[in-house]
Amino acid sequence: MSHCADICLALIFLSVLLGMAANRLMELVKIMAFQGTIVSILPVLLEAGQRDAAGLGFMAVMLTVKGLVMPLALYAAIKKVANLREVEPFVGYRASIFSALALVLAAGFIDRTLAPFMPPTHVMLMPASIATIGAGFFLMMARRKAITQVIGYLMLENGIYLTGIALAGETHSQRLLEFGVLLDLLAGVMIMGIIINRINQTFDDVDTGMLGSLRD
C-alpha cells in the first residue's frame, strides 16, 4: 500500500508541474480532474488510512466532487464563454516551470523546518501539500483570466486537503476540516462565478486586468 501512496504523491507533484506549465485552459481543467482524483483516493492508500465502509464512502464523495463535479463545472464555464483558449500568463511558461521547480524545492525546505512540530506522517506528504498550495497561489497570481483564479483556488483547496490528511491522525477531525473547506470552496467558487459573469457582461471579456479601471 505504501508504494501506491508514494506513486500517488509523485503524481501529485507531476500535476503541480503540469498545471503550472499548462498553456491551454482545457488542459488545465483535465489536470485538475486528474489531481482531484489522486488527492481523493490518497487517504485510503496511506498506511494509517481508514479502509472501512465509512472511509471508502468518504472517498467516493470526494472523488465525485473533486474528480467529476468541479472539473465538469469548469468545463461548462469555459465552453460557455466562447473565446477562452489560452491561459494568458503574466509569468511566461518557461519561467512558470522554473518557478514550479523552485516551489518544490521550497516545499521540501519548509517541510524540513516544520517537521519537528508535526505529527509523524508519510514522508513526502507534507512537501506535496505545500507545493500544491503554492501552485494554487501561483495560478491565482500569475494568470490573467478570472477562470484561472477559480482553478488556482481549487488547487489551493486540494493542497489544504492534503495538509489536513497530514495533520490529522484522527480521521474524523480531518473530515470536519474537509467539510468546512468544501463549504468555503462552494462559496468561493460561486462568488468567482458571479464575478466572472459580471466581468464578462461588463467588458465582453473575462480579463481581470480590465478591473483595474474600476479602482477609485
Partner 1 sequence: METFFLAISFIIAAGVLPFLFLRSSRLMRGSAVIMTAAGGLTGLLFAARAMTTATPPAATFLLPGGLRVLMQVDAVSAFFLLPIFLVAPVAALYSFHYTRAQGPRAAAGYLFFSLLTAAMAAVVCAADITGFIIAWELMSISSFFLVIHDFGKKESRRAGYIYLLFAQAGAMVIFATFALAYGKSGSLDFASFATMPAQARILVFVLAFIGFGSKAGIIPLHTWLPHAHPAAESHVSALMSGVMIKMGIYGMVRFYAILRPPGPGCAMLLILTGAVTGVLGVVLALGQHDLKRLLAYHSVENIGIIVLGLGIGMLGAATGHPLMALLGFAGGLLHVLNHALFKSLLFMGAGSVQRGAATLNIEQLGGLMKRMPLSGTCFLAGSLAICGLPPFNGFVSEFLVYSGGFQGVANSEAQMFTALAAVISLAVIGGLAVACFTKVVGVVFLGEPRSEKAKIAPPAGRCMQAAMVLLAVACLGIGLGAPWFIALARRAAGPLLATPTPMPAPLDTAAYAIALAAAGFLLLLAILAAGRGLLAHGRPAESATWGCGFSSPTPRMQYTGSSFAAEIVGFYRPFVIIRRDFSGIHGLFPPLSSFRSHTIDLVELGIRRWLARSVMALTGKIRWLQHGHIQLYIAYIFFAMLGLLLWLMV
- Which residues are near partner 1 by CB under 8 A? 90, 110, 113-114, 137, 140-144, 146, 149, 208-209, 211-215
Task: Compare residues 120 and 212 and give the one whose CB is closer to partner 1.
Answer: 212
Could you tell me the smallest distance in angstroms from the CB atom of residue 125 to partner 1? 18
Task: Compare residues 101 and 115 and give the one whose CB is closer to partner 1.
Answer: 115
> 201: left (phi > 0), else alpha (psi -120 to 50), else beta?
alpha
**Residue 143 φ then ψ, to 5°:** -120, 145
Using alpha carbons only, how large is the chain's radius of gyration in Å? 17
Whether 127 and 143 have beta carbons less than 8 Å apart is answered as no
Task: Compare residues 58 and 153 and give the one whose CB is closer to partner 1.
Answer: 153
Burial 74-84, CB ≥16 within 10 A → b, else e: bbebbeebeeb
Query: Hey, what's the cell of 182?
Result: 468544501
Task: Compare residues 55 and 108 and give the one whose CB is closer to partner 1.
Answer: 108
Could you tell me the smallest distance in angstroms from the CB atom of residue 214 to partner 1? 6
Could you tell me the smallest distance in angstroms from the CB atom of residue 167 to partner 1? 15
